Amino acid sequence: MKTVIYLDVLLIVNFLIAYLLLRATSLLCASPARASRCMGGAALAALFTLSLLAPTMPLLLGILYKAGTAFAVCRIAFGFRSWRLSLQQMFCFFVLNLLLAGGVLWAAENAPISGMQSNNFSVYLPLSPTLIVACAAGVYLVLRVFVWLFGRPSSHQRMLTLQLHTPPYSPILVQALVDSGFLLQDPLTGKPALMIHYPYGKGLIPPDLQPFVQDFLQGGNAVPPADCKLRLIPCATATGTRTLPALEGVQLETVDDHCLASATPMLVVFTDQPLSAGQFQALIGEGLL
């Protein structure tokens, strides 16, 4: 007997599931993502579930298809920063899907399941959409509790999610480490500055100035135009003093999703060196908060 599959229910339920799993992936990989981007990735993931109705693929092609879809979904949700981080996100998203499948089967183990269909590594169970979405929400909530209990690497490290904005360009989200020993200041105003890994902060820089910043970080010696907000700042690093490009007037708008009473303009310094092997994207001192 053939099972009737309602496409609208299939797409909506899988959209909600993928959205929750992408938020969970964001927690595990410390990869901040806007809700709108996660919705875009979830919409693509829902469309990929239509492979259930496609002709059966060979085993190898099916595996490559699932890996490719997971990679594409994560790229829409999180963008591309590095291959290592991208593979971490893809792996987490894939494993969370397996965890959810196990949770759904566990929740339905005492209920008769008829009409189960599988094709191209997709499984369809004629279960209540409410049950499936509740299981996805359960996976997300379990991870929220886990991160709340054990998420910080050590008691000496404090991580914050910051929203930075250079009008009229789109805001960006970064994970910043609060370091009491980080004392970088704007040499003109004496105010604390923020350091960010260039690939993560590229969106703050006007497009016409991005080639200059990238060339300078790669060893160039060009001087920024006099009428722009880009400056060169001497910074003390573990390998000695180094001059780095910096952008003034960047607005700090939110800290851990809490909106500030007024956007705080600040100096952002760009570095080409990953911060702590890519575990966080920015570095700030306690004086900035």
Euclidean distance between CA atoms 32 and 80, whole angstroms: 12
Question: What confidence tier does 118 reach under pLDDT thresholds 50, 70, 90?
Answer: low
Q: Which helix or strand (DSSP H or E) is residue 141 part of?
A: helix 129-150
Euclidean distance between CA atoms 183 and 265, whole angstroms: 18
Question: What confidence tier does 108 reach under pLDDT thresholds 50, 70, 90?
Answer: low
Q: Which amino acid is at 50?
A: L
192: Cβ–Cβ under 8 A, 6 or more apart, which residues? 183, 184, 185, 186, 266, 284, 285, 287, 288
Same domain as 168, residue 103: no
The pLDDT assigned to 142 comes to 79
Q: Is residue 1 part of a domain?
A: no
Euclidean distance between CA atoms 196 and 108, whole angstroms: 47
Choose one of 123, 150, 177: the last residue of a domain. Answer: 150
Same domain as 101, residue 53: yes
Judged against a pLDDT cut of 50, whether residue 250 lies above it is answered with yes
Judged against a pLDDT cut of 80, whether residue 17 lies above it is answered with yes
Beta strands in the chain (DSSP E): 117-119, 122-124, 158-165, 172-178, 194-197, 230-237, 240-255, 258-271, 282-284
Q: Is residue 108 part of a domain?
A: yes
Q: SS3 of 273, please?
A: coil
Same domain as 140, residue 13: yes
Parent domain of 207: 158-288
Same domain as 202, residue 109: no
Q: How many domains does the chain have?
A: 2
Same domain as 208, residue 123: no
Euclidean distance between CA atoms 134 and 131, whole angstroms: 5
Q: Is residue 109 part of a domain?
A: yes
Same domain as 13, residue 106: yes
Same domain as 226, residue 99: no
Predicted confidence (pLDDT) per residue in 139-157, tens digit: 778 777 877 776 544 444 6
Same domain as 54, residue 116: yes
Predicted confidence (pLDDT) per residue in 186-230, tens digit: 888 888 899 999 999 999 999 888 989 988 888 887 777 777 888
Look up residue 168 and give its two tokens.
């009229």
Q: Is residue 23 part of a domain?
A: yes
Entry pTM: 0.55
By residue count, the chain amounts to 289
Same domain as 201, residue 141: no
Judged against a pLDDT cut of 50, whether residue 245 lies above it is answered with yes
Choose one of 150, 180, 212: the last residue of a domain. Answer: 150
The whole-chain average pLDDT of the chain stands at 80
The pLDDT assigned to 224 comes to 75
Q: Which of 205-209, 238-242, 259-263, 269-273 has the lowest mean pLDDT?
A: 259-263
Question: How many Cα atoms sit within 13 Å of 46 on the Cβ side?
Answer: 20
Euclidean distance between CA atoms 10 and 3, whole angstroms: 13
Over pLDDT 70: what percentage of the chain? Answer: 79
Question: How many Cα atoms sit within 13 Å of 89 on the Cβ side?
Answer: 29
Judged against a pLDDT cut of 70, whether residue 111 lies above it is answered with no
Euclidean distance between CA atoms 201 and 137, whole angstroms: 32
Q: Is residue 2 part of a domain?
A: no
Same domain as 262, residue 202: yes
Same domain as 116, residue 14: yes
